[in-house]
A and B are shown apart, each in its own frame.
Chain A
Amino acid sequence: YASLYFCCAIEDQDNELITLEIIHRYVELLDKYFGSVCELDIIFNFEKAYFILDEFLLGGEVQETSKKNVLKAIEQADLLQEEAETPRSVLEEIGLT
């Protein structure tokens, strides 16, 4: 994965080969989101990496097997975040209004 290494801890009875698929799916999601993901993308946007992971896995289990659905959820959340970031005046910034 272009010099990206991933480490995953699983339990005794877990299927190792499907774990490889899980890692692969996560990389694909990152790739789609960042556009050819590389190390720097993850470093400078670590919180995004977490958010994407949280839409794919929950409590250590796979929650969504459709790539499309995961990416859609992230997109919507990002939109929400942007809307919330309404432009503020300088005065607002320093608490004067």
Chain B
Amino acid sequence: MPGQRVFLHSRTLPVRMVAPSLKLQDLIEEIRGAKTQAQEREVIQKECAHIRASFRDGDPVHRHRQLAKLLYVHMLGYPAHFGQMECLKLIASSRFTDKRVGYLGAMLLLDERHDAHLLITNSIKNDLSQGIQPVQGLALCTLSTMGSAEMCRDLAPEVEKLLLQPSPYVRKKAILTAVHMIRKVPELSSVFLPPCVHLLHERHHGILLGTITLITELCERSPAALKHFRKVVPQLVQILRTLVTTGYSTEHSISGVSDPFLQVQILRLLRILGRNHEESSETMNDLLAQVATNTDTSRNAGNAVLFETVLTIMDIHSAAGLRVLAVNILGRFLLNSDRNIRYVALTSLLRLVQSDHSAVQRHRPTVVDCLQETDASLSRRALELSLALVNSSNVRAMMQELQAFLESCPPDLRADCASGILLAAERFAPTKRWHIDTILHVLTTAGTHVRDDAVANLTQLIGGAQELHAYSVRRLYNALAEDISQQPLVQVAAWCIGEYGDLLLEGNCEEIEPLQVDEEEVLALLEKVLQSHMSLPATRGYALTALMKLSTRLQGDNNRIRQVVSIYRSCLDVELQQRAVEYDTLFRKYDHMRAAILEKMPLVERDGPQADEEAKQSKEAAQLSEAAPAPTESQASQLLDLLDLLDRASGDAQHPPPLDPSPGGALVYLLDLPCAPPPPAPIPDLKVFEREGVQLNLSFIRPPENPALLLITITATNSSEGDVTNFICQAAVPKSLQLQLQAPSGNTVPARGGLPITQLFRILNPNKAPLRLKLRLTYNHFHQSVQEIFEVNNLPVESWQ
């Protein structure tokens, strides 16, 4: 409802159709009176409509009030863009009230992103050159708040002129506006650099402060300026010295410190000028020492100056004694009752701990005390600093403190603390046993927060310390018996018990109390881990493998172990299922190899964390791979002995490599098991054998991502009336190819189209040599044992080209 003025042709006063506009304070009261968010929105929307109408009408008298209301509403987060043009009008007005609100509006509503902002440039120019001082002040303030690069370029000459004005009120503002302009348009440095040296002679604190800020800005941006201003170092030193030695001044002192703002700014500039410059550093050394010793530290103002002094001392070329003094000041800060001061001390010491290590070391006890801080940001920094202070001479004492901290620290610091302790232990462990103990302690205290490689590191460490095997396995057994929930601990313990179970049962180890453990207890514990719902799949894998290893380490019969292994053959977890199946096969068919396969592991060479993981995986894979292809290997070699070597090359006495014996190779094949059927291939299937209803088919797949690889799946089907049992298929390929046979899906093909047997062959043929394949089948059928040996003819060319 726009305001409509109705003029009556009478002596009565004209009446407005809308209510008179609210005063700012009334609007604020109304908004605060709203009980709900919706109510507030309603009030504001209504008022904004009035404001918009008023703007449209172009009412100059109340414009400033309308804009003020709009600014309040804007602060609450409501849209106010329609007020932008009004700011322009108000700024252009001659009334001071209008300008005051208009400039404030410009600072709040206009910014570089809106083109409208450029429109005030002209008004600002006029106000700067012709306005009275307060108006000049408003213009300068606005310029330094929202002035874009373009505006700054336009108005630089005006600001430059104002630098030379007699009035300090305008001059100090012009100087800081120049700072802003240089930030926006660095080229303007050339305009504002010349007046600086002269301005330093001023006595007005505001002008001095602004000038020093300006010089700082210039020096930070240009090495040439930096060089130029080094010559004022003596003058700065003098100004600061006067400040420090001057007595109390009502106007500028805070808690007995003369103008701390100015002192801090000077110190900061001195830091920049003295950095990497011997001569300047020397000029300021005495003064810095004076400030460091004489500043009143009872209140924050003095400490602020002291803090800046310390930062400057540490950053320039100071005398050694001065540096130690500075670090000691920080050490004293650590004991201050004010939390903020302790905070800046911790952050600063953290920055200095590398460069001035011995000086910071002296405050180690205080830093360690700070671990008890209740404030999170303080305790975190104390932890970082404590960890940085660990070295070979204090490692035992520090670790004790840090481990005590780990037990009681807040959860979000646990992970950092744990990994910090482990890292420090690695770098500075005095003995292996201490190292193992430390890691063990971390795992029991904060097991869920350690990094993934902690398990690998510990097993590596234990594995390499042969003299500590008995000790380690006992301690781990005890820890595991107490608590099976901390996964990294459980994994390491399971691994250890598996590897060194025999030592566990021996019963004597001088380093701990004699422990009487019997076999059943050990097996029971591992079974408990296997069955626990708290155990991760990886953990259960460890436990199962450990049980398996114990079958060769323990004296008793292995019935219990065999039972467990057998149960897990039908586990839903594929990984566990596979292990169980293979271990079971090891028991049933390849028992003569079991001892050799489950021997104690050799120590893996440690290249680094990445190599560690691979080595570990290949170790475990090697165990698995040896369980499966090993038997086929021996029989495949028999096969080849029976047959002619397919390769034309003669006189080959050495063992042909039909399988890849290296764990690394097995790693690739095994861990890469195609659980899902291979994707459909364009190579046609091939029927290679048929006898009395028993048929063998080959299907071929060349995975596109690996052109050297050929996957052959053999499928044995049975359409006869009699079952096929004990079915075994073996294969041989030319020497230049590599063949690996996966375990078959079974040994039996039931009669009348029962479930076929499938088996996967992997053939690597990098040289694209012609593929030749010889097969040997043995099985029982109709109460007769059948053996067939033949070469496959008509292999499709696509299988090897």
A in complex with B: yes
Q: Are B264 and A15 in contact (CB under 8 A)?
A: yes
If A58-B176, A90-B13, A93-B61 touch, whether A18 touches B304 (CB-CB below 8 Å) is yes
User: Which of B36-44, B94-102, B366-374, B769-777 has 4 or more CB atoms under 8 Å from chain A?
Assistant: B94-102
If A47-B71, A59-B179 touch, whether A18 touches B308 (CB-CB below 8 Å) is yes
Interface positions of A from 48 to 89, Cβ below 8 Å from B: 50-51, 54-55, 58-59, 61-69, 73, 76-77, 80-81, 83-85, 88
A94 at the B interface (CB under 8 A): yes
If A17-B300, A44-B25, A44-B28 touch, whether A62 touches B261 (CB-CB below 8 Å) is yes
Q: In the docked arrangement, what's the CA distance between A21 and B209, Å?
A: 16
Query: For residue B264, which residue of chain A has the nearest CB?
Result: A18
Query: For residue B343, which residue of chain A has the nearest CB?
Result: A16
Query: Which residues on A sit within 8 Å (CB–CB) of B213?
Result: 61
If A17-B341, A58-B140, A84-B97 touch, whether A66 touches B252 (CB-CB below 8 Å) is yes
Query: Which residues on B sit within 8 Å (CB–CB) of A61?
Result: 176, 179, 209-210, 213
If A15-B308, A94-B14 touch, whether A20 touches B340 (CB-CB below 8 Å) is yes
A8 at the B interface (CB under 8 A): no
Closest chain-A Cβ to B571's Cβ sits at a distance in Å of 55
Query: Which residues on B sit within 8 Å (CB–CB) of A20?
Result: 300, 304, 340
Q: Are B95 and A84 in contact (CB under 8 A)?
A: yes
B694 at the A interface (CB under 8 A): no
If A47-B71, A65-B252 touch, whether A59 touches B264 (CB-CB below 8 Å) is no
B417 at the A interface (CB under 8 A): no
Interface positions of B from 339 to 360, Cβ below 8 Å from A: 340-341, 343-344
Interface positions of B from 197 to 211, Cβ below 8 Å from A: 205-206, 209-210
Query: For residue B307, which residue of chain A has the nearest CB?
Result: A17
If A80-B134, A84-B95, A90-B13 touch, whether A63 touches B173 (CB-CB below 8 Å) is yes
Query: Which residues on A sit within 8 Å (CB–CB) of B100?
Result: 47, 51, 77, 81
A46 at the B interface (CB under 8 A): yes
A43 at the B interface (CB under 8 A): yes
Q: Are A69 and B75 in contact (CB under 8 A)?
A: no
Q: In the docked arrangement, what's the CA distance between A18 and B264, Å?
A: 8
Q: Are B61 and A88 in contact (CB under 8 A)?
A: yes
Interface flags for B1-14 (1: CB within 8 Å of A; 0: not) read: 00001000000011
Q: Are B308 and A65 in contact (CB under 8 A)?
A: no
If A15-B304, A59-B144, A80-B134 touch, whether A65 touches B104 (CB-CB below 8 Å) is no
B435 at the A interface (CB under 8 A): no
Q: In the docked arrangement, what's the CA distance between A30 and B212, Å?
A: 27
Query: For residue A67, which residue of chain B has the nearest CB?
Result: B251
Interface flags for B69-112 (1: CB within 8 Å of A; 0: not) read: 00110010000000000000000000111001100100000000
B172 at the A interface (CB under 8 A): yes
Query: For residue B132, which residue of chain A has the nearest CB?
Result: A80
B259 at the A interface (CB under 8 A): yes
If A58-B141, A77-B100 touch, whether A17 touches B303 (CB-CB below 8 Å) is yes
- Give the secondary structure class of B's interface: helix
Residue from B95, B141, B303 in contact with A54 in the complex, judged by beta carbons closer than 8 Å: B141
Residue from A15, A55, A59, A69 in contact with B307 in the complex, judged by beta carbons closer than 8 Å: A15
Interface positions of B from 147 to 186, Cβ below 8 Å from A: 169, 172-173, 176-177, 179-180
Q: Are B104 and A63 in contact (CB under 8 A)?
A: no
Query: Which residues on A sit within 8 Å (CB–CB) of B13?
Result: 90
Q: In the docked arrangement, what's the CA distance between A59 and B175, Å?
A: 11
Query: Which residues on A sit within 8 Å (CB–CB) of B95?
Result: 84
Query: For residue B15, which residue of chain A has the nearest CB?
Result: A94
B301 at the A interface (CB under 8 A): yes
If A58-B176, A61-B210, A84-B95 touch, whether A21 touches B25 (CB-CB below 8 Å) is no
If A18-B308, A21-B304, A80-B134 touch, whether A65 touches B96 (CB-CB below 8 Å) is no
Q: Are A16 and B206 in contact (CB under 8 A)?
A: no
Closest chain-B Cβ to A49's Cβ sits at a distance in Å of 11
Residue from A43, A54, A68 in contact with B28 in the complex, judged by beta carbons closer than 8 Å: A43
Q: Are A64 and B172 in contact (CB under 8 A)?
A: yes
Query: Which residues on A sit within 8 Å (CB–CB) of B206?
Result: 63-66, 69
Q: In the docked arrangement, what's the CA distance between A70 and B95, Å?
A: 22
Interface flags for A20-51 (1: CB within 8 Å of B; 0: not) read: 11101100000000000000000110110011
Query: Which residues on A sit within 8 Å (CB–CB) of B96?
Result: 77, 80-81, 83-84
Query: Which residues on A sit within 8 Å (CB–CB) of B177?
Result: 58-59
Query: For residue B302, which residue of chain A has the nearest CB?
Result: A17
Residue from B176, B180, B259, B340 in contact with A16 in the complex, judged by beta carbons closer than 8 Å: B340
Closest chain-B Cβ to A7's Cβ sits at a distance in Å of 14
If A58-B140, A58-B177 touch, whether A66 touches B205 (CB-CB below 8 Å) is yes
Closest chain-A Cβ to B493's Cβ sits at a distance in Å of 46
Q: Are B28 and A21 in contact (CB under 8 A)?
A: no
Q: In the docked arrangement, what's the CA distance between A54 and B136, Å?
A: 13
Query: For residue A94, which residue of chain B has the nearest CB?
Result: B14
Query: Which residues on A sit within 8 Å (CB–CB) of B300?
Result: 17, 20-21, 24
Query: Which residues on A sit within 8 Å (CB–CB) of B123?
Result: none
Residue from B205, B252, B261, B343 in contact with A18 in the complex, judged by beta carbons closer than 8 Å: B261
Q: In the docked arrangement, what's the CA distance between A81 and B134, Å?
A: 11
Q: Are B134 and A58 in contact (CB under 8 A)?
A: no
Query: For residue B7, which residue of chain A has the nearest CB?
Result: A96
Interface positions of B from 27 to 78, Cβ below 8 Å from A: 28, 32, 61, 68, 71-72, 75
If A54-B141, A58-B173, A81-B97 touch, whether A66 touches B180 (CB-CB below 8 Å) is no
B645 at the A interface (CB under 8 A): no
Query: Which residues on A sit within 8 Å (CB–CB) of B145?
Result: 59
B712 at the A interface (CB under 8 A): no
Q: Are B209 and A62 in contact (CB under 8 A)?
A: yes
Q: In the docked arrangement, what's the CA distance between A51 and B93, Å?
A: 19
Closest chain-B Cβ to A45's Cβ sits at a distance in Å of 8
B260 at the A interface (CB under 8 A): yes
Closest chain-B Cβ to A1's Cβ sits at a distance in Å of 14
B262 at the A interface (CB under 8 A): yes
Query: Which residues on A sit within 8 Å (CB–CB) of B176?
Result: 58-59, 61, 63
Q: Are B251 and A66 in contact (CB under 8 A)?
A: yes
Closest chain-A Cβ to B7's Cβ sits at a distance in Å of 9
Q: Are A17 and B209 in contact (CB under 8 A)?
A: no
Closest chain-A Cβ to B306's Cβ sits at a distance in Å of 9
Query: For residue A43, which residue of chain B has the nearest CB?
Result: B28
Query: Which residues on A sit within 8 Å (CB–CB) of B343?
Result: 16
B468 at the A interface (CB under 8 A): no
B254 at the A interface (CB under 8 A): yes
Query: Which residues on B sit within 8 Å (CB–CB) of A80?
Result: 96, 134
Q: In the docked arrangement, what's the CA distance between A64 and B252, Å?
A: 10
Query: Which residues on B sit within 8 Å (CB–CB) of A66?
Result: 205-206, 251-252
Query: For residue B138, which residue of chain A has the nearest CB?
Result: A54
Q: In the docked arrangement, what's the CA distance between A69 and B792, Å?
A: 104
Query: Which residues on B sit within 8 Å (CB–CB) of A77?
Result: 96, 100, 134
Closest chain-B Cβ to A21's Cβ sits at a distance in Å of 6
Q: Are B134 and A46 in contact (CB under 8 A)?
A: no
A sample of 6 more A-B contacts (CB under 8 A), given A20-B340, A80-B134, is: A21-B254, A21-B300, A21-B301, A47-B101, A59-B144, A59-B179
Q: 19 A-B residue contacts at CB 8 Å?
A: A17-B304, A17-B341, A20-B340, A22-B261, A43-B28, A55-B137, A58-B141, A58-B177, A62-B265, A64-B205, A65-B252, A65-B262, A69-B251, A76-B134, A77-B96, A80-B134, A81-B97, A84-B96, A95-B61
Interface of A toward B, CB cutoff 8 Å = 15-18, 20-22, 24-25, 43-44, 46-47, 50-51, 54-55, 58-59, 61-69, 73, 76-77, 80-81, 83-85, 88, 90, 92-96
Complex A-B, nearest 8 residue pairs according to Cβ-Cβ distance, in ascending order: A59-B144, A17-B304, A59-B180, A18-B304, A58-B176, A64-B206, A80-B96, A84-B96
Interface of B toward A, CB cutoff 8 Å = 5, 13-14, 25, 28, 32, 61, 68, 71-72, 75, 95-97, 100-101, 104, 134, 137, 140-141, 144-145, 169, 172-173, 176-177, 179-180, 205-206, 209-210, 213, 251-252, 254, 259-262, 264-265, 268, 300-301, 303-305, 307-308, 311, 340-341, 343-344
